[in-house]
């Protein structure tokens, strides 16, 4: 077996050579993950904001459920989505199993509770500060939610980032519903698992390096945005 | 404000705009407001004073409809205070609550939720910016302004909604003399344009400068009310006397009232 440094050198060569397989896998991973996070934000942000800013019976229970769902085991989510999409499942006729769409659905199920739960906390804290002023101005429910989401926008970027981190690093659910089919549903994480088991460590490590680099770039970008927001007292 | 009670003085004649009737408010197993009967008269400047924890802020929130009374009622022009009545009121808090947006966007938001838009909104925004003397800072984030500038913006925002009553809850408590003076000028201008003022302050000088009527609270009850000069010049209630002399008065509301 090659040394770690030898494998790393080969992995870097693959990246620098802009290897077609590598690019395809990265592209699919980004498409699936970004789409899932976008859908999760579209659902989770308003749900979290509503739970965080409205008083209604069962609000505490809703918050507890959201928090609990943050820890959903990916393989369980994968199994449930698999059962829903399989030929015998209620969504079987759609023929989505082993497609990127199936992986988007699984990741959305995993990420939405994270976005909703963290949004609830952020919005609740902000609403505590704004509540009397909003009440004095008689801000309506929709305006209130929109205002809170807008004013918490920089904190919510971090929330979206947490969702992205969870989705992009996820392997259990997408491998069950996607099947890790070459050129169809092969993601970075599933490829790393597969190629490692096959002994193709160069490609696995190359993907690992790209995954880490992506996490670094996205984090740095969000931190820079937040820093500018803090300077403007927008956080 | 004119309050029924043991030390009520003759009041200026003006129609009551707001009335508190046997108003009570309980929280945490304690009675914070205890059977208050009071009237806010239109176009007057009413000062509410009293030691910390006597229920001044709670009373203001009840009058503005931010909280519901445990018993009793608040009347707006003779009828129970409702959403329509509340829309004719504005409130400024001790710590200005400003959105994480620019000065202009803060004004725009308040006007938008009040249904003011188009040229009317632009006119009111410009007037508020000018009134608060924040012309150079209109596009700056509101929360980077100094404390005085932030409170001027909060008052200007409240006045931009063109309320008939402006409530101020210790709006100058943490401001320097110059900033306090600027807020007092805004309050006077507002009253000159017909706005009824109700403010809480611990500053006796401010009460004399700004107030016309005064109500003094102790233990959630009105112990004395009347023209500011009369109440502060010759207090009748022991609680008022003790407060003016800087003594701690722990007796019941009616104790020592002459």
Question: Which is higher by pLDDT, B3 or B36?
Answer: B36
Nearest C-alpha in A relative to B145:
A233
Residue B100 has its nearest CB partner, among A133, A135, A233, at A233
The hierarchical CATH code for the domain A4-231 is: 1.10.3720.10
pLDDT tens digit string along A81-129? 999 999 999 999 999 999 999 999 999 999 999 999 999 999 999 999 9
What percent of chain B lies above the pLDDT cut of 70? 91
- What's the confidence (pLDDT) of residue B6? 47
- The yes-or-no verdict on residue B148 having pLDDT over 90 is yes
- What's the confidence (pLDDT) of residue B13? 58
Nearest C-alpha in B relative to A144:
B113
Q: How many whole angstroms from its chain centre is CA A178?
A: 17
Average pLDDT over residues B115-143: 95
- B4 confidence band (pLDDT: 50, 70, 90): very low
Residue A233 has its nearest CB partner, among B86, B112, B143, at B143
- How would you label A96-127 residue by residue, b for 16+ Cβ within 10 Å and e otherwise? bbbbbbbbbbbbbbbbbbbbbbbbbbbbbebb
CB distance A28 to A187 below 8 Å: yes
Contacts of A232 in chain B (CB under 8 A): 141, 144
Contacts of A133 in chain B (CB under 8 A): 93, 97
- What's the confidence (pLDDT) of residue B16? 87
- What's the confidence (pLDDT) of residue A3? 86
Which stretch of DSSP H or E encloses residue A163?
Answer: helix A153-168
- What's the confidence (pLDDT) of residue A178? 96
The CATH fold of domain B1-88+163-258: Rossmann fold (3.40.50)
> Helices B147-160 and B103-113 meet at what angle, rounded to 10?
30
- What's the confidence (pLDDT) of residue B252? 67
Average pLDDT over residues B106-126: 96
CB contact under 8 A, A137 and B64: no
- What's the confidence (pLDDT) of residue A171? 93
The complex's ipTM?
A: 0.88
Strand partners, B30: B27
A 10 A CB-CB count for B6 gives 14
Pairing of strands B30-41, B16-27: antiparallel
CB contact under 8 A, A151 and B99: yes
Average pLDDT over residues B70-85: 96
- The yes-or-no verdict on residue B8 having pLDDT over 70 is no
CA–CA distance, B17 with B79 (Å, rounded to integer): 10
**How many Å lie between the alpha carbon of B112 and the closest alpha carbon of chain A?**
9
- What's the confidence (pLDDT) of residue B256? 41
- What's the confidence (pLDDT) of residue B7? 55
CA–CA distance, A142 with A154 (Å, rounded to integer): 20
Which of the residues in chain A have pLDDT under 70? 1
Calculate the average pLDDT of chain A.
Answer: 93
Contacts of A228 in chain B (CB under 8 A): none
- The yes-or-no verdict on residue B37 having pLDDT over 90 is yes
Domain ranges, ordered by start, for chain B: 1-88+163-258, 98-162
Instruction: Say whether residue B93 is in contact with chain A using an 8 A CB cutoff.
Output: yes
- B237 confidence band (pLDDT: 50, 70, 90): very high
CA–CA distance, A62 with A85 (Å, rounded to integer): 27
- The yes-or-no verdict on residue B188 having pLDDT over 60 is yes
Residues 140-179 of B with CB under 8 A from A: 141-144, 161
- What's the confidence (pLDDT) of residue A26? 94
CB contact under 8 A, B100 and A135: no
**How many Å lie between the alpha carbon of A112 and the closest alpha carbon of chain B?**
26
CB contact under 8 A, B161 and A137: yes
Contacts of A138 in chain B (CB under 8 A): 83, 86-87, 113-114
- What's the confidence (pLDDT) of residue B246? 84
- What's the confidence (pLDDT) of residue B71? 97
- The yes-or-no verdict on residue B132 having pLDDT over 90 is yes
A 10 A CB-CB count for A233 gives 14
- What's the confidence (pLDDT) of residue A215? 86
Closest CA to B231 of B45, B7, B33: B7
Pick from A55, A133, A233, A235 the residue to mutate for testing the B interface (most B CBs within 10 Å): A133
What percent of chain A lies above the pLDDT cut of 70? 99
- B254 confidence band (pLDDT: 50, 70, 90): low
- What's the confidence (pLDDT) of residue A104? 98
Give the pair of three-digit tokens for residue B50: 């009293």
Domain ranges, ordered by start, for chain A: 4-231
- What's the confidence (pLDDT) of residue B258? 35
- What's the confidence (pLDDT) of residue B257? 40
CA–CA distance, B194 with B43 (Å, rounded to integer): 6
């Amino acid at each position: 077996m090659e040394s770690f440094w030898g494998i790393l050198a080969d992995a870097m060569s693959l990246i620098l050579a802009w290897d077609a397989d590598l690019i395809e896998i990265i592209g699919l991973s980004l498409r699936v993950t970004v789409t899932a996070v976008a859908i999760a934000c579209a659902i989770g942000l308003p749900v979290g904001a509503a739970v965080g800013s409205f008083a209604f019976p069962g609000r505490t229970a809703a918050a507890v459920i959201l928090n609990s769902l943050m820890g959903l085991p990916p393989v369980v989510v994968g199994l449930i989505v698999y059962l829903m999409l399989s030929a015998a499942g209620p969504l079987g006729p759609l023929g989505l199993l082993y497609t990127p769409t199936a992986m988007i659905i699984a990741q959305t199920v995993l990420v939405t509770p994270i976005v909703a739960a963290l949004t609830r906390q952020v919005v609740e804290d902000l609403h505590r500060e704004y509540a009397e002023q909003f009440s004095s101005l008689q801000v309506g429910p929709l305006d209130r939610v929109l205002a809170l989401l807008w004013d918490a926008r920089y904190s919510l970027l971090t929330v979206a980032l947490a969702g992205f981190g969870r989705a992009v690093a996820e392997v259990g659910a997408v491998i069950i519903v996607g099947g890790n089919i070459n050129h169809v549903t092969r993601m970075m994480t599933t490829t790393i698992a597969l190629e490692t088991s096959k002994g193709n460590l160069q490609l696995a490590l190359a993907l690992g390096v790209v995954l880490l680099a992506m996490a670094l770039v996205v984090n740095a970008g969000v931190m820079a945005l937040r820093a500018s927001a803090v300077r403007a007292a927008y956080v | 404000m004119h309050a029924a009670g043991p030390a009520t003085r003759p009041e200026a004649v003006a129609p009551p705009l707001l009335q508190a009737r046997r108003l009570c408010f309980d929280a945490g197993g304690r009675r914070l407001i205890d059977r208050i009967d009071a009237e806010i008269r239109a176009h007057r400047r009413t000062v509410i004073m009293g030691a910390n924890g006597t229920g001044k802020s709670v009373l203001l929130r009840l009058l503005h409809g931010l909280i519901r009374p445990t018993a009793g009622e608040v009347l707006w022009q003779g009828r129970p205070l409702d959403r329509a009545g509340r829309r004719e009121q504005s409130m400024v808090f001790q710590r200005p609550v400003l959105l994480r947006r620019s000065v202009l966007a803060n004004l725009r938001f308040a006007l938008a939720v009040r249904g003011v838009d188009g040229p009317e909104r632009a006119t009111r925004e410009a007037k508020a910016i000018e009134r608060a003397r924040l012309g150079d800072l209109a596009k700056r984030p509101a929360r980077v302004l100094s404390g005085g500038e932030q409170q001027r913006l909060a008052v200007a925002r409240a006045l931009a909604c063109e309320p008939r009553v402006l409530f101020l809850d210790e709006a100058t408590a943490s401001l320097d003399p110059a900033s306090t003076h600027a807020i007092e000028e805004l309050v006077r201008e507002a009253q000159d344009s017909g706005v009824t003022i109700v403010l809480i302050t611990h500053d006796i000088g401010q009460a004399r400068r700004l107030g016309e009527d005064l109500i003094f609270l102790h233990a959630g009850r009105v112990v004395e009310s009347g023209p500011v000069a009369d109440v502060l010049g010759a207090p009748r209630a022991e609680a008022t006397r003790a407060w003016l002399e800087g003594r701690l008065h722990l007796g019941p509301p009616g104790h020592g009232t002459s």
